[in-house]
Structure 1
Amino acid sequence: MLRRNWFRRRPRSEEVAVASLFSGEETRSPSHQNAIDAIPGWNCHFPVELGLTAGRLPAFDDPRITWCIERYGDLTGRRVLELGPLEGAHTYMLAKAGAHIDAVEANRLAFLKCLVTREVLDFPDTRFYLGDFVQWLEQAGPRYDLVVASGVLYHMREPLRLLRALSERADAIYLWTVMVDDDQVPHTFTQKFENLDVRHYARGYGDRSVAFCGGAMDFPNWMHRDDILAVLAALGYDDVTVLNDIIGTAGNVLPTFSVFARRSASVG
């Protein structure tokens, strides 16, 4: 059963680590490792051939993003928007495939990690922006050939708002998300969306560390797997492919899946 966790104290270790980021000087010989070490809480490890020490997740060669690129086709010269790039690993894969990328990250430490990653790997045609990607989507701006939203939907307090906003900016989208797939789990409330009754499941984060990868606000609302697909259909995405999680589940306990959705009239 999904339960709220009301424990929200910010760890003192995070406060100390963040404070240390903006104090002191580096006394070692200049290197990429120094830049990595200056920012606490890395989640992803860099390509092994670089010999750098960071996190543990093998996100720079993520089969989910490989699958997304295969589903879309040639990304050379395509405009891609990435939501929540975290540490720039998926951004690197998209850039290597030839895309021009805008990547929007709300977490300040994650944003700084993205800048370090771009320096380390020197990938082109990418701009990182610090801020709320829902507001980015809802303000006037360019259309994109593809939106990549890996690991963000289940962090949203208003997931339907996000889905509608991204649907207005792109005819092709990729989602990887934690979701509910058990009809016996009680939902917190329903929301009407395009004649659908969409179930929402409130979920708390609890304690946060410097490696925290969640959203800006506690108590996001998860969605049911069937409702995600129904909402995408209601938004006009009629060419939808689902891939069950191919890297294990988040925390080894939560059901996840990948969805590539396209409006078929946009192909070509």
Structure 2
Amino acid sequence: MDLFHGEWSTILPPDAGAVASPGYAELFTDPRIAWANEVLGPFEGFDVLELGPLEGAHSYLLERLGAASVTAIEGNSRAFLKCLCMKEVMAMKRVTYKLGNFVPYLADCPRFDAIIACGVLYHMTEPLVLLERMASKADRIMLWTHYYDHEAIQARPDNNLYAKPAALKGSPYRGVKRFYPEAAMAWRGFSGGSERHAVWLEHDSLIQFFHDRGFTTSVQSDAANSNGPALSLCAKR
């Protein structure tokens, strides 16, 4: 774990026999995955696609919930290596990590029983492309993402990082460019997108996207998140 000292986000559980220092996120006890299992699952016997596994905690939880397989695609090379470390430390047996861009992967991959995407949509420059491909590959989708809320964002001290909201390429859905702070991109543990900006969808556009494609949705609000308004969404059809 010390190969990546100072770059870890995840706090390891006490029975791991190791420490990911300094670590701040308790992802091994993340209630979002348990909620998704209740709404979309149970995941036992499912073949699950996980987009952006970060450091492998959610992969571990999915395996513990009985997933037959977890295929996890990570685009950040250092995060991918941390996932491999975590796979060894936590003795994951049914998880396969792949390094690369999951957007083209989704164009040709087989269908999955469920797709989990926590913390990736708001890093996309073309979020609608990702959502379309996810919707074509699974009838059960869980995501956690930030979204754009004008009133909430304008009240933030970093509101200068956001451009003016607009319709996205002639679609009925709206979003806004959000630029990464220089300090965030300079950190070796940075796990954001590969571009200097991403596009955050507006809340209602995100929900409407799934409804327009025949999904029913369940939503848990995380509007007071310190990094900006966010939500957990389970979509099923």
TM, length-normalised to structure 2: 0.88
- Indicate conservation of the 8 Å contact 1:204/1:220, yes or no: yes
Counterpart-to-counterpart distance in 2, 1:162 and 1:253: 22
Of 44, 49, 54, the match for 2:10: 44
Give the letter aligned to residue 217 of structure 1.
Answer: E
Q: C-alpha displacement at 1:124, in angstroms?
A: 1.7
More strand by share: 2
Tell me which residue corresponds to 1:211: 189
Post-superposition offset of 1:183: 6.3
Partner of 2:202: 224
1:189 Cα offset (Å): 2.8
Report how many aligned residue pairs link the two structures. 221
Residues 1:260 and 2:225 are matched in the alignment:
no
Q: Is this contact kept in 1: 2:148–2:175, CA < 8 A?
A: no
Q: Secondary structure at the match of 1:101?
A: strand
Task: Name which of structure 1's ranges 181-190 and 51-60 shifts more when overlaid on structure 2.
Answer: 181-190
What is the 5 A alignment of 1:229-240?
229-237=207-215, 239-240=216-217
**Is residue 96–residue 123 contact of structure 1 (8 Å, CA) maintained in 2?**
no
Q: CA deviation at 1:178?
A: 0.4
Measured after TM superposition, the shift of residue 39 of structure 1 is: 2.0
Alignment of 1:1-268 (within 5 A): 36-40=1-5, 41-54=7-20, 55-99=23-67, 100-139=69-108, 141-182=109-150, 187-192=164-169, 196-207=171-182, 208=185, 209-237=187-215, 239-245=216-222, 249=225, 252-263=226-237
Gaps of 5+ in 2: 155-162
Q: What letter corresponds to residue 38 of structure 1 in structure 2?
A: L
Aligned-residue Cα RMSD (Å) equals 1.8
Letter in 2 for 1:134: V
Larger radius of gyration: 1
Tell me, in whole angstroms, the C-alpha distance in 2 between the residues paired with 1:181 and 1:52. Answer: 40
Cα deviations by residue, 1:130-168 (Å, 9 ceiling, x for unpaired): 0000011012x2110100010111000000000001111
Which piece of structure 1 moves more, 199-208 or 154-163? 199-208
Q: Which letter does structure 2 place at the counterpart of 1:190?
A: A
- Counterpart of 2:128, as a letter, is L
Alpha-carbon distance in structure 2 between the residues aligned to 1:244 and 1:182: 16
Q: How many angstroms apart in 1 are the aligned matches of 2:42 and 2:141? A: 15
**% of aligned pairs identical?**
38
- Taking the aligned partners of 2:55 and 2:227, their CA distance within structure 1 comes to 24
- Alpha-carbon distance in structure 2 between the residues aligned to 1:257 and 1:188: 19
Correspondence for 1:31 = none
Q: Structure 2: how far apart are the matches of 1:74 and 1:65?
A: 11
User: Could you tell me which amino acid in structure 2 is paired with residue 45 of structure 1?
Assistant: I
Contact 1:164 1:235 in 2 (8 A): no
Contact persistence 1:95–1:126 (CA under 8 A): yes
Residue pair 2:107, 2:133 contacting (<8 A) in 1 also: yes
The residue identity in structure 2 corresponding to 1:213 is: S
Q: Which has the higher contact order (CA 8 A, sep 6+)?
A: 1
Match of residue 20 from structure 1:
none
* Structure 1 spans left out of the alignment, 5+ residues: 1-35, 264-268
Amino acid at match of 2:174: R
